[in-house]
Amino acid sequence: MNKKLVIRIDVVSDVVCPWCYIGKRRLEKAIEGTQSSDNVQVKEVEIVYHPFQLDPSVPVEGLSFQTYMKNRFGSNFVEKFHQVEQAAQSEGLDFDFSLLPKAINTFILHRILTVALQDGIQSQVKESLMKAYFVDRQDLTQENILVEVMETYGWTAEKTLQIIHSDIATDEVKEEMNYYRQLGVTGVPFYIFNKKYTVSGAQSAEVFMEILEKVSKEMELEMVVGEVCDIEGENC
């Protein structure tokens, strides 16, 4: 009987990063492909998400997305981001940057995700928040929307509101962001496989699968290899 292998993937990302959502889909596709492969014995992957803010200067109440993007990227930002929308569509995601209501500060969302990790539901919550923002185009600065998202996972309104209106997980989020900043992470998504191999950007599913296969084979052979694999790609 083959020994069950568990690969850990640490993902540094932001909820409002489009390439992070696209990369999430591609990684999931790679994991599914690897798990169904006869050549690789990966049966379980543990994913842990870590906080990153694309723009911490955005106020808590948010800004008009159209105004924010025009100020940052110019009046033709929709055309500039058409490539991102096409990439998202190829992964089954319906992006339309002309319809997003707000640019938001994601610090509160990262605190929610930190507590969600403690509750064992972080990956599911991450998906729900990104879908709510990019696909459903909801305003995640609204408390009732966050309450509704978290009720899906058994959180009471009181629990969600307590996190929003307190400093719960504030220190943890700040420490993590500082830690990865010191590691040199300046763009997201950023992936670390088994605390050894790093991948920057929303790589193709094929690239992710190659890394998963490499890591799993090393685990099978119980090898300790000193080389570092750094790959760069599209990011925010």
- The confidence band for 1, taking pLDDT boundaries of 50, 70 and 90, is very low
What pLDDT is attached to residue 222?
A: 60
- Give domain status of residue 236, yes or no: no
Residue 145 lies in a domain: yes
Instruction: Give the per-residue pLDDT at 230.
Output: 67
151 inside domain: yes
The answer to whether position 223 is within a domain reads yes
Lowest mean pLDDT among 40-54, 118-132, 159-173, 220-234: 220-234
Q: Measuring CA to CA, which residue among 161, 168, 124, 126 is closest to residue 146? A: 161
pLDDT tens readout for residues 54-82: 999 999 999 999 999 999 999 888 888 99
Tell me which residue range forms the domain holding 139.
Answer: 5-231
CB atoms within 10 A of CB 63: 18
Task: For residue 129, tell me if it sits in a domain.
Answer: yes
**Structural domains in the chain (count):** 1
Q: What pLDDT sits at residue 4? A: 65
Average pLDDT for the chain? 92
In a domain, 62, yes or no: yes
3-class secondary-structure state, position 230:
strand
The answer as to whether 212 is a domain residue is yes
Q: Is residue 201 part of a domain?
A: yes
Helix (H, G, I), strand (E, B) or coil at 224: coil
pLDDT surpasses 90 at 207: yes
Q: Provide the whole-model pTM.
A: 0.91
Q: What is the dihedral of CA 100, 102, 107, 108, to 10 degrees?
A: -90
Give yes or no for residue 224 having a pLDDT over 50.
no
Report the CATH number that the domain containing residue 27 is assigned in CATH: 3.40.30.10
What ranges make up the beta strands (E) of the chain? 5-13, 42-51, 63-64, 102-103, 190-193, 197-200, 230-231
For the stretch 84-94, pLDDT in tens is 999 999 999 99
